[in-house]
Amino acid sequence: MAKIIVVTSGKGGVGKTTSSAAISSGLALRGHKTVVIDFDIGLRNLDIIMGCERRVVYDFINVINGEANLKQALIKDKRIPELYILPASQTRDKDALTIEGVEGILDELAKDFEYIICDSPAGIETGALMSMYFADEAIVVTNPEVSSVRDSDRILGILASKTKRAIEGRAPIKEHLLLTRYDPERVEKGEMLSVQDVKEILAIPLIGIIPESKAVLKASNTGTPVILDEHSDAGLAYQDAVARFLGEEKPMRFVHNERKGLLRRLFGKNREDVLA
């Protein structure tokens, strides 16, 4: 039975697509057959983050409208054998997404795949609602910042009331908090909400902390999911998050600021640079 996971946040720019790319890659690297779907109709970006933007022929909406079959629209990742991408449509309006259409595609994918990752668009419009409607689990991507935390709480409310599981009164969607762009140094200075603060406010279990990292931009520049940058802090943090998602126990890393010696402070490079 395939598991449907929505990656959501409410607020834009917090790292949903980066996280969708990293987590789907991480699951596939561990041998689980995984497909990642872009629900951001009209503003597709998962393809460019995954580095397959030039291989898009058919998209999600083409399949819903019967203009192509799933096999034609799915893009097989060139680096990871068990990974497939279903791109969003770039031109058509988001009303093309219907519950029946999405359900049909998810049902067909469920026959073939172990994990279906739904990359939600920002906001709470049709695309976002469709991406979470059929979910079994939700990864709520949050930045340690007031607007992001508030929007995440709003999304948690929607997950608990407007999704199929909620409407049918089945077991609720399993929620995970993924804290991204975390800067332990600023937290220690009292300038940024800490992981404890965010956990206390949102009251859902933490699946990972992704540190603010230069590796993320570097990865998106080249169209490589950051989890493949095995030496970067963000890559390691995503690997840990995937391991926890699969039920492994992993201590949280990148929670504390590593104190730099005076010489390293003066002459050293940033941690990410040294490792990369």
Cβ of residue 149: shortest distance to another protein, in angstroms?
6
Q: Which sign does the torsion angle of CA 22, 24, 25, 26 carry?
A: positive
Cβ of residue 143: shortest distance to another protein, in angstroms?
12
Closest among 41, 60, 52 to 121, alpha carbons compared: 41
Instruction: Please say which residue, 67 or 191, places its beta carbon nearer to another protein.
Output: 191
Task: Sheet with 174-182: list strands edge to edge.
Answer: 75-76, 83-86, 34-38, 115-119, 3-8, 137-142, 174-182, 206-211
Q: Are 74 and 58 in contact (CB under 8 A)?
A: no
Instruction: Please say which residue, 72 or 147, places its beta carbon nearer to another protein.
Output: 147
Instruction: Please say which residue, 58 or 254, places its beta carbon nearer to another protein.
Output: 254
> ∠44-206-189 over CA atoms, to 5°?
95
* Separation between Cα atoms, residue 132 and residue 4, nearest integer Å: 9
State the residues that interact with another protein by CB under 8 A: 145-146, 149-150, 153-154, 157, 161, 187, 189-194, 197, 201
Cβ of residue 14: shortest distance to another protein, in angstroms?
15
Cβ of residue 262: shortest distance to another protein, in angstroms?
17
Instruction: Please say which residue, 132 or 241, places its beta carbon nearer to another protein.
Output: 132
Cβ of residue 64: shortest distance to another protein, in angstroms?
31
**If 0-12 CB within 10 Å is exposed, 13-18 middle and 19+ buried, where does residue 241 land?**
buried
Cβ of residue 260: shortest distance to another protein, in angstroms?
18
Contacts for 105 with CB less than 8 Å, ≥ 6 apart: 37, 60, 63, 64, 70, 86
CA 61 to chain centre: 21
Instruction: Please say which residue, 191 or 273, places its beta carbon nearer to another protein.
Output: 191
Q: Give the C-alpha distances (Å, rounded to integers) separating 214 from 12, 182, 219.
A: 19, 12, 9
Instruction: Please say which residue, 30 or 189, places its beta carbon nearer to another protein.
Output: 189
